[in-house]
Structures are given as C-alpha cells and as structure tokens.
Amino acid sequence: MTLSECRDAIDALDDNILELLAKRMEVVQEVGRIKHKDGSAIYRPEREQQILERLNSQSEGVLTDSAIEAIFLEIFAAARNMERPERVACLGPEGSFTHQAAESRFGALCDYLPMESIHSVFKAVEAKRAKFAVVPIENNTDGIVGETLDLLAKSELKIVAELSMAIHLSFVTSASNLSEVKKIYSKDKAFGQCREFLYDHGLADVEMIPVESTAKAAKIAYEEEGSAAICSSIAAKLYKVPVLFENIEDVHSNRTRFIILSDFKNEPNKNTKTSILVKIAHADKAGSLVNFLQDFEHENINLSKIESRPNKGSNKFDYMFYIDFDGHIEDEAVQKVFKNHSHEITWLGSYIKA
C-alpha cells in the first residue's frame, strides 16, 4: 500500500470506530436509565474488569493488554460522564500525581475537585460534594500513608477500587536548550529523587527553588522565562510546558498505590480483595493476635498484607492492624471470620485487585 492508501484506510476505519462508539453510548444511556431508577452506582470496577479480561483473552493482533486497558478505560470514563456526570475529589492541586491517578480511571472529561489535604478529600465525599475520592494509601519505598488509614478507621466511606501507578518525573521547560535554564522549580523531595539526572546534564549548579507542589512548579515554568520544572507528565500537559526529558528519577521502580472511595458495595468477583482494620480485644494477652489470624488460616483465606498502626483513639500504647486478604465480604468463609470477631473488625471495602 502507498502512504495515501494507508491514510485512506485509517480514515475509513476511524469512521467505523466512531459509528460503533456512538452505538455503544446509546446502549450505555439505556443502562443509565435502568440504574437511575434503582439507584445503582454508575462506576462498577468489577464490571469493567470483566470487560477488560474478555477483550484481552480475545486479542490476537498487535494490541497489548496494557494498550487495550488504556483505550477502554477512557471509553468507560467517557461513557460514565455521558451517563451521569460525577465529581471526583482528589488530593491536589490539579496536576498532582493523585490527580493523574484519578484521571487514569475517570478520564479527562470528569469534573475533578482538587483538595489541599487527605482529610478534605474524605470530607468532600462525606458531605456529598463529590461522589468519589482518590487518595494515596501506600508507596513501595515510603510505606503506608498513615493519614489515610486513620481516616478510614473513622469514615463510613468504603474502598471500591485500587490502582497502582508508577511515579515518574519529567523535566519541562520552554527554553530551547539547557544552557538557557537559570532556575529549576519543584518539591524539595523531587530534587533529591533526580540528583543523577541533574548532575549528568550539567544542572547541579543551577538555582533550585522548592515550591509546595510539582504542579505549581510546572505553572511557574510556563510563566517565567529561563525556568524549568521537575513535575508529573499531567502537570506538564495541564500547563502546556514542553517536556524535554521523561523518567528522570534516579529509581525507576517507585510506585504508589491509590484507593478510590465511595458509598456503595461492589458485587463479588473472583479477583476480589478485602481490606479491614482490626482492634484486637484483650490485646495485652499473649497470643491474642495469633489466635485472630489463625481463624483466617482455618478458613483457607490468604492474607496479602498486615500493617500495624498506633490506635490514636486510645490513651494506652496499643495498636490497630490494617489487613488485606483475598476474597469478598459476602464469601461464606469470610463471613465466618467476621462473625467470630464482629466487635474487632471494621470493614473498609471489597474491590477488584489492581
């Protein structure tokens, strides 16, 4: 085929895709009318996972699983926005990594409400100013996010989904070459995460100015001549600053786990995990935690995480435990454990594994 013939073929395929997408949205609108009558949630992570698994199993062409996921997550998001627009609160500002994580699930068309603290994010959903909350819960290098756990212990909101995202930093500037860069803006922590890049590119002696967020750094880099920023890719896109280098962090394995919170319960699914907080009764007695955990072993329930956390509601030195395990709250085996420890367990949510 010639280049012109290839372009004509692509145009014809795009026309077909657009027509099929329009038909899909018509069906989605009908689903929305049905759900609106019974009050069901529009965002159903378990249903989206089923669709992705089916499509991945059928794919025999050049599309990888990750490519299929990226394409269809945006289709899902556009469909939800058309069906029933929802507001999503996230740890801000706009352009932050949490905003980037939220957009990866809810799409570019969603109405985002960036908040200044994790506590504010929880409050926005609890007060019905937003339908969903997206907050970080764990980083593979810095560990658990204590504020998120503390708020989960007190909130009625439930975890309805999780996602794990690689944390990559970009070097952005409107300068035509590095020699024109006189100032670099970013969070103070980000400078330390990119020492090797800065040294290797002769930028170690350039003035580095810490600001409260990488998103603000990108905004300054856009407005101020001769400046650059170390920031997320979404911040660069938001403020229209050219990306000169991507993935400039010294350690490329840095990942953060985010959770999505709302006020509904997911349906059971074979790939479900459940999160709970546990305050062990008679914790001062020898073997109390072991006895609790043995009930999970007896029911053949796999524990994937256990993390201790100081119990801030106590005037003693005691702890609560954050636990993840395979299964759904409605599973018979899980119900047996919950029945035996009903006064010790706070259910945080059952949701599809990332």
* Check whether domain 267-352 has CATH 3.30.70.260, yes or no: yes
Task: Map out the domains of the chain as residue ranges.
Answer: 3-164, 170-245, 267-352
Q: What confidence tens digit (pLDDT) does each residue in 192-227 have?
A: 889 999 999 999 999 999 998 888 999 999 999 999
Per-residue model confidence (pLDDT) at position 309: 83
Give the span between the Cα atoms of 106 and 74, in whole angstroms. Answer: 7
Give the span between the Cα atoms of 106 and 99, in whole angstroms. Answer: 10
Which residue did the predictor score with more confidence, 30 or 170? 170
When mean pLDDT is compared across 20-29, 47-56, 171-180, 314-323, the lowest value belongs to: 314-323
Task: Please report, rounded to a whole number, the percentage of residues in the chain having pLDDT higher than 70.
Answer: 95
Residue 165, helix vs strand vs coil? strand
pTM: 0.81
What would the two tokens of residue 184 be?
């670099």
Residue 43, helix vs strand vs coil? coil
- Closest CA relative to residue 56, chosen from 44, 47, 64: 64
Query: 188 falls in which pLDDT band (50, 70, 90)?
Result: confident
Per-residue model confidence (pLDDT) at position 141: 78
**3-164, CATH topology level:** D-Maltodextrin-Binding Protein; domain 2 (3.40.190)
Q: What confidence tens digit (pLDDT) does each residue in 229-276 have?
A: 999 988 999 899 999 999 999 988 889 999 999 999 998 888 899 999
Cβ-proximal residues to 21 (8 Å cutoff; 6+ apart), any chain: 75
What would the two tokens of residue 117 be?
């603290």
Q: Are 76 and 48 in contact (CB under 8 A)?
A: yes
Rg (CA), the chain: 23
User: Options 3.30.465.10, 3.40.190.10, 3.40.50.150, 3.40.50.740; which CATH number does 170-245 get?
Assistant: 3.40.190.10
Same fold, 3-164 and 267-352: no
